[in-house]
Amino acid sequence: MNIGILSRDAKLYSTRRLKEAGEQRGHKVEIIDHMKCVLLIEKKNPMVWYNGKRLDYFDAIIPRIGASVTFYGAAVVRQFEMMKVFTAVESQALIRSRDKLRSLQILSRAGLDLPKTMFMDYSKDTEGVIEAVGGAPVVIKLLEGTQGLGVVLAENKKAAQSVIEAFHGVKARIIVQEFIKEAKGADIRAFIVNGEVVGAMRRQARDGEFRSNLHRGGHATVVKLNLQEKYTAITAAKKMGLGVAGVDMLPSKRGPLIIEVNSSPGLEGIEGATKVDIGSKIIQYLEKNAGKKKIQKDKVNA
C-alpha cells in the first residue's frame, strides 16, 4: 500500500513514528508538505501536484495538519478525498474539530458533559458571564488557541473582568469556562483509533501551572479508563466524525467533562506513557479501510 503523510516537518516525532510503523508493516510511505501541494480542479479529474509530479498513486493519507494552516490543509485533504483516497482524518471532521465553539455545540447536542461554557459577541456584561459559569475562578480561552496557548486562569472576578475586557479590546473571540477545582491540574487524554480506545494517559500540570500540556512541563502516566470515561471518549470521537482522535477530559464530581477533541493528537506522550505502539494501530486502521476505497476507485476507472 502507498501511504502519504501530510506533514510540514519530517523530523517531528509523530511524523517519524507513523513513517516507521508503515514501513515496518511493509508499506511505502512518503512524507508530503501539504503547504507545497498544488490542486488541479477540473471535471472528473481532480489532481494533487507536488514538486512537479502527480500524487495519483496513494491508497491512503494521514493528515498531520497544524492549526495555523487548517484552511489550506483541509483543502488538500478534500482533494485527495475527491480522488477516492482514504484519509485517516476526513476534511470536514478536521475543520469541525478546529472550531472550538462548534465542537462544544456538537458534543453538547450529543448529550456529553462539558464544563459550563459561555460565548459572547464582545458583551459588556462580564459580571453576568462570570456568574453564569459558577463564578471565579474561571478559565478564559481564545477560540483560536492551541496547545495551552491563549488559555488564562482568572483567580477572582476582578481579574476575570480585566482579562475579558482586554481580549475584547483587541477583538479576540473567547470562551469563558467553569473552573473544575477537583481536577487539581490534571486531565485525561484518551487516544481513539477506529472507534476504540487504544491508549489513555493522565496528564498532571507542574507545580504552579493549571495547564497539563506536556510541552508546558506537565508529566504523563498511564491510566485505565472507567466505563463512563471510555464511553465519553468513544462517543465524542464518533460525533466529531474522527477515526483518529485525542479526547481530553477533566475528572470531576459529576463525571468526565470534555474539554477538547483533537484531530491531530501527538504520539510521543501517549506512546511514552502507555508503551503502546499507537503508530501501528493507525496503520492497521488504514489497512482495514483503504482497500475498500481502492475497489471503489478501480470501479470508477474501469
Helix (H, G, I), strand (E, B) or coil at 220: strand
User: What is the reported pLDDT for 298?
Assistant: 52
How far is 126 from 149, CA to CA, in rounded Å? 22
Classify burial at 53, counting beta carbons within 10 Å of its beta carbon; exposed 0-12, middle 13-18, buried 19 or more: exposed
User: What is the reported pLDDT for 292?
Assistant: 60
Edge-first strand order for the sheet with 60-63 is 28-32, 2-6, 60-63, 86-87
Can you give the length of the chain in residues?
A: 302
User: What is the reported pLDDT for 271?
Assistant: 95
In CATH, the number for domain 2-93+281-301 is: 3.40.50.20
Q: Where do the CATH 3.30.1490.20 domains begin and end in the chain?
A: 117-179
In CATH, the number for domain 117-179 is: 3.30.1490.20
CATH superfamily of 182-262: ATP-grasp fold, B domain (3.30.470.20)
User: What is the reported pLDDT for 302?
Assistant: 46
Question: Residues of the chain whose pLDDT is less than 50?
Answer: 215, 295, 300, 302
Nearest-5° Cα angle at 113, 109 to 118: 75
Beta-carbon contacts of 46 under 8 Å, excluding residues fewer than 6 positions away, are: 39, 40, 79, 82, 83
How far is 173 from 238, CA to CA, in rounded Å? 27
Q: Where do the CATH 3.30.470.20 domains begin and end in the chain?
A: 182-262
Q: Where do the CATH 3.40.50.20 domains begin and end in the chain?
A: 2-93+281-301
Helix (H, G, I), strand (E, B) or coil at 44: coil
